[in-house]
């Protein structure tokens, strides 16, 4: 055990401990002497036989490097010893700062799991925004169904928004060199969908099949290929076809084509689905608001390393095909707030389950295994054996505990529909946020498209 000592201990956050550690001068000198003797056996200097170089001569030539190595070795050892002495269990590799070789001191910032107490989780009043079904949803869903089953047919007229165009396109840069990324044949686009630059869409509207449209524009700054962004490009577009979408009649024949008895049966089924969806969205809204309220009443912070790790997992899960490291790093940052929320919710689940002694029964676990066995067309015992072997029984228990805890919290808290005025204010904020999200969606769409 080293003779180092902690000269300063500070709790910077509930999850972050800072230790300033001083390495013993005696230990340091011993380590320097040990390293000097070790290297003296293998280093050859002019005037000395190999292995016969005096340590004092070696120190004159390589002393700084040997002292650095001695300090680093003692840093590793004293860091481990100090964690043991202070009974600190880190959840990530410590961050070493303020290294000072002259004073033999350094600072270690260590992330630890904080003490988390969830006391206020019953008897809370939780405001939420009700989700209600209305006829507009039904009409919109039916219209979407018609469009999905419509047919594009050629028309002999000028192109309008919503029309499908088949085009040949060629693009050149300011030097007259062909831009391969924007050169294609028989390319189908729907005007108004945003799959090509807005200036090109505007130029195409009002032109018939057979027209040749020339457009000069600046490629947007946020275009996926940074080499082309902000560059001027000249487009020559030949419109080969203009097609309009013919919608099927909203009658019994259409309903039968969709697998229903008649149009009333179709409307009835769509309405039921929409009502069930509204109920599910309202339940999700209540759950999110409930957990938000519990966190508000029991505020706690989590180590940044945990949040980063969860965000990294989410990024790898949702963006398996992404290889660009810069984009992945950006996505990890975007996922961090969501990762923090999920982690906090999981902790609340665990703490409430522990306090209320909520556990799944053997019957509930057996029912889950039976459902899995039926789905996989296996015997129940074989299914249980397989699930136990790959550790899935633990996942089943966790899922059941979560459901039971959420049910418990729903029963023991009061949900209050948001007042109309406040609801409108929040909806206005939501619309603004939605606008921003739409911009983000457009950016994502821009990144995915060819042009």
pLDDT for position 348:
97
Q: Beta strand 164-172 with 232-246: parallel, antiparallel or unpaired?
A: antiparallel
Confidence (pLDDT) at 417: 93
8 A C-beta contact, residue 287 and residue 406: yes
- Whether residue 192 lies inside any domain: the answer is yes
Please give the Cα distance from 112 to 125 (Å, whole number): 33
For the residues of 312-339, what is the DSSP string, one character each? HHHHHHH-TT---HHHHHHHHHHHHHHH
What distance in Å separates the CA atoms of residue 378 and residue 74, rounded to the nearest whole number? 59
Q: Can you state the percent helix, strand and coil of the chain, rounding each to 5?
A: 50, 20, 30
**Domain assignment present for 105:** yes
Final residue of a structural domain among 53, 84, 111:
111
DSSP state at residue 47:
T
Q: What 8-state DSSP symbol labels residue 112?
A: B
User: Which H or E run includes 296?
Assistant: helix 263-297
280 and 373 fall within a common domain: yes
Task: Report how far residue 418's alpha carbon sits from residue 425's, in angstroms, rounded to the nearest whole number.
Answer: 11
163-198 per-position pLDDT tens digit: 999 999 999 998 889 999 899 999 999 999 888 898
Within a domain: residue 143?
no
Task: Flag whether 81 is in a domain.
Answer: yes
Tokens of 99: 């290294």
Q: Where are the beta strands (DSSP E) in 332-443?
A: 414-417
DSSP letter assigned to residue 219: P
Q: Is 16 within 8 Å of 113 (Cβ atoms)?
A: no
pTM: 0.71
Residues 174 and 101 in one domain: no
CATH assignment of the domain containing 46: 3.30.70.1050
- pLDDT recorded at residue 116: 94
Written in H, E and C, the secondary structure of 121-146 is: CCCCEEEECCCCCCHHHHHHHHHHHH
Cα gap 106→254, rounded to integer Å: 76
Bridging pattern class, strands 125-128 and 414-417: parallel
Length of the chain: 451
**Tokens encoding 186:** 């028989």
Burial status of residue 440 (CB atoms within 10 A of its CB: 0-12, 13-18, 19 or more): exposed
Q: If you average pLDDT over every residue of the chain, what do you get?
A: 89
Give the integer Cα–Cα distance in Å for 204 and 242.
10
Q: Which residues contact 227 (CB under 8 A, 6 or more apart)?
A: none
- 214 contact partners, CB below 8 Å, separation of at least 6: 234, 235, 236, 237
Looking at the fold, whether 307 and 427 belong to one and the same domain comes out as yes
Which tokens belong to 276? 């069930």
Q: Are residues 321 and 426 in the same domain?
A: yes
Same domain, 152 and 196: yes
Q: Are 193 and 175 in contact (CB under 8 A)?
A: no
Which of 57, 83, 111 represents a domain boundary (last residue)? 111
Task: Provide the phi-psi class of 426: left if phi over 0, else alpha when psi is between -120 and 50, else beta.
Answer: alpha
Q: Is 74 within the bounds of a domain?
A: yes
Boundary of a domain, candidates 111, 140, 168: 111
Contact of 142 with 267, CB cutoff 8 Å = yes
Same domain, 293 and 394: yes
pLDDT tens across 247-305, in order? 999 999 999 999 999 999 999 999 999 999 999 999 999 999 999 999 999 999 999 99
Q: How far is CA 308 from CA 331, 336, 368, in A?
A: 11, 6, 33
Is residue 426 classed exposed, middle or buried when 0-12, 13-18 and 19+ CB atoms within 10 A define those classes?
middle
Q: Is 348 exposed, middle or buried (0-12, 13-18, 19+ CB in 10 A)?
A: buried
- Write out the residue range of the structural domain in which residue 103 sits: 5-111
Query: Does a structural domain hold residue 289?
Result: yes
Per the structure, how many domains does the chain have? Answer: 3
- Extract the residue ranges of the chain whose pLDDT is less than 70: 1-2, 49, 51, 420-451
Q: Tell me the CATH number at 194.
A: 3.10.50.40
Residue 431: the pLDDT is: 54
Collapsed DSSP state (helix, strand, coil) of residue 19: strand
My answer on whether 55 and 162 are in the same domain is: no
Q: Is 141 within the bounds of a domain?
A: no
Give domain status of residue 116, yes or no. no
CA distance 15 to 378: 47
Q: What are phi and psi of 394, to 5 degrees?
A: -60, -40
Asked whether residue 48 falls in the same domain as residue 187, the answer is no
**Helix H or strand E encompassing 372:** helix 362-376
């Amino acid at each position: 055990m080293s003779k180092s000592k902690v000269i300063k201990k500070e709790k910077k956050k509930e999850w972050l401990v800072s230790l300033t550690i001083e390495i013993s001068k005696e230990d340091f000198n011993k380590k320097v002497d040990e390293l000097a003797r070790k290297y003296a056996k293998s280093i050859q200097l002019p005037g000395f036989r190999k292995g016969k170089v005096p340590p004092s001569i070696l120190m004159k030539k390589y002393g700084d490097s040997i002292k650095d190595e001695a300090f680093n070795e003692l840093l590793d050892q004293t860091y481990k010893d100090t964690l043991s002495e202070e009974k600190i269990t880190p959840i990530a590799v410590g961050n070493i700062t303020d290294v000072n070789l002259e004073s033999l001191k350094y600072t270690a910032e260590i992330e630890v799991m904080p003490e988390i107490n969830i006391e206020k989780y019953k008897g809370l009043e939780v405001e939420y925004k009700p989700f209600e079904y209305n006829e507009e949803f039904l009409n919109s869903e039916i219209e979407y169904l018609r469009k999905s089953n419509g047919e594009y047919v050629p028309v002999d007229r000028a192109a309008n928004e919503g029309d499908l165009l088949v085009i040949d396109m060629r693009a050149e840069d300011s030097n007259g060199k062909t831009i391969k990324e924007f050169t294609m044949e028989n390319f189908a686009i729907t005007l108004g969908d945003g799959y090509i630059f807005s200036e090109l869409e505007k130029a195409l509207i009002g032109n018939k099949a057979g027209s040749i449209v020339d457009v000069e524009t600046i490629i947007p700054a946020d275009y996926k290929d940074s080499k082309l962004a902000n560059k001027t490009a000249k487009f020559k577009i030949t419109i080969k076809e203009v097609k309009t979408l013919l919608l099927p009649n909203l009658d019994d024949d259409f309903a039968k084509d969709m697998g229903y008895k008649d149009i009333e049966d179709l409307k009835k089924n769509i309405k039921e689905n929409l009502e069930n969806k509204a109920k599910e969205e309202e339940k999700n809204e209540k759950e999110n608001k409930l957990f938000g309220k519990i966190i508000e009443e029991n505020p706690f912070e989590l180590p940044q390393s945990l949040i980063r790790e969860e965000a990294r997992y989410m990024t790898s899960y949702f963006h398996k095909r992404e290889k660009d490291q810069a984009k992945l790093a950006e996505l990890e940052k975007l996922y961090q707030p969501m990762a923090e929320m999920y982690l906090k919710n999981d902790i609340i689940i665990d703490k409430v389950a522990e306090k209320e002694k909520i556990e799944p029964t053997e019957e509930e676990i057996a029912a889950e295994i039976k459902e899995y066995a039926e789905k996989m067309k296996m015997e129940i015992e074989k299914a249980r054996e397989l699930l136990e072997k790959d550790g899935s029984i633990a996942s089943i228990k966790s899922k059941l505990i979560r459901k039971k805890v959420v049910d418990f919290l729903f029963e023991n808290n009061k949900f209050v529909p948001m007042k109309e005025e406040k609801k409108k204010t929040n909806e206005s904020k939501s619309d603004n946020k939605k606008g921003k999200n739409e911009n983000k969606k457009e950016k994502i769409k821009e990144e995915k498209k060819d042009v």
